[in-house]
Amino acid sequence: MLIDIMAATFITFIVYKLSQWFYKKVKFPLLHPLLISPVILIGLIRLLEVSASEYTDLSVLLTHMLGPATVAFAVPIYKHAHLLKKYMAEIFLSVATGSVAAIVTSFILAIWVHLNGEWILSILPRSITTPIAIEVSREIGGLPALTTAFVIVTGIIGGMIGPSIIKWMSIKTPVAKGLMLGMAAHGVGTSKAMEYGELEGTFSSLSMILAGFLTIFLGYSLIPLLAGFIL
């Protein structure tokens, strides 16, 4: 079983790295690694006649690494703690507004396209990083697997159009760039923010983490109100 787990983890890693290498060569948005890798892996598990649940069990090492990877964002945050204190009011106000807007707009969109109860509850925490989104989804009665898909799609779309919006709106400051990308596209946005610079990546990391905490809080306040409306 350990060999199978290691093999599944290695294959997943290789598929992602090859997709990442190819994306850097072609620079085409629809060929983003987070979009192409799942398609390739779905094809592989279908070819090998492995069920989705079996693959999930075999790739458990990668799932467990999501938590430590998120915690690792604390390093640049600690390094630039003085700047975070300086802009604390702006950071909190921006992320709080973004978190509420993300939940409310997700709810409105879900109602507009006539999603059912479980689907609506699964899409509400889509604008936070995957490990936290999964737990929030489970707590409010959503489907964690479906929430993961919504989080990935949100991150990819945010990562693709975020730089264009930054350019169009002539956003110059590292604080604004980082907060925007971290709030709108969480992990993918933070990766994109790192390409701008260390400060942008730091503020994006903080935005992503703070959005997770705020969404957990909203999960026990705003989301139950929306859930009551659904039911």
For residues 103 and 151, what is the distance between their CA atoms, to the nearest angstrom? 12
pLDDT the model gives residue 101: 85
pLDDT the model gives residue 2: 47
Under the banding of pLDDT at 50, 70 and 90, the label for residue 225 is low
Residue of 226, 191, 221, 222 lying closest to 205 (CA atoms): 191
- Tell me the pLDDT tens digit for each residue of 211-222: 877 877 766 566
Tokens 């640049």 appear where? 76
Is the whole model's pTM more than 0.85, yes or no? no
Asked if residue 203 has pLDDT above 80, the reply is yes
- Tell me the pLDDT tens digit for each residue of 35-68: 788 888 888 888 888 777 778 777 777 777 766 7
Residue of 87, 31, 73, 23 lying closest to 190 (CA atoms): 73
- Tell me the pLDDT tens digit for each residue of 99-149: 888 888 888 888 888 877 778 878 877 877 777 788 778 877 778 888 888
Asked if residue 3 has pLDDT above 50, the reply is no
pLDDT the model gives residue 65: 76
Which range among 25-34, 153-162, 180-189 shows the weakest confidence by mean pLDDT? 25-34
Asked if residue 83 has pLDDT above 60, the reply is yes
Asked if residue 150 has pLDDT above 60, the reply is yes
Under the banding of pLDDT at 50, 70 and 90, the label for residue 229 is low
Q: What is the 3-state secondary structure (H, E, C) of the chain?
A: CHHHHHHHHHHHHHHHHHHHHHHHHHCCHHHCHHHHHHHHHHHHHHHCCCCHHHHHHHCHHHHHCHHHHHHCCHHHHHHCHHHHHHCHHHHHHHHHHHHHHHHHHHHHHHHHCCCCHHHHHHHCCCCCCHHHHHHHHHHHCCCHHHHHHHHHHHHHHHHHHHHHHHHHCCCCCHHHHHHHHHHHHHHHHHHHHHHHCHHHHHHHHHHHHHHHHHHHHHHCCHHHHHHHHHC
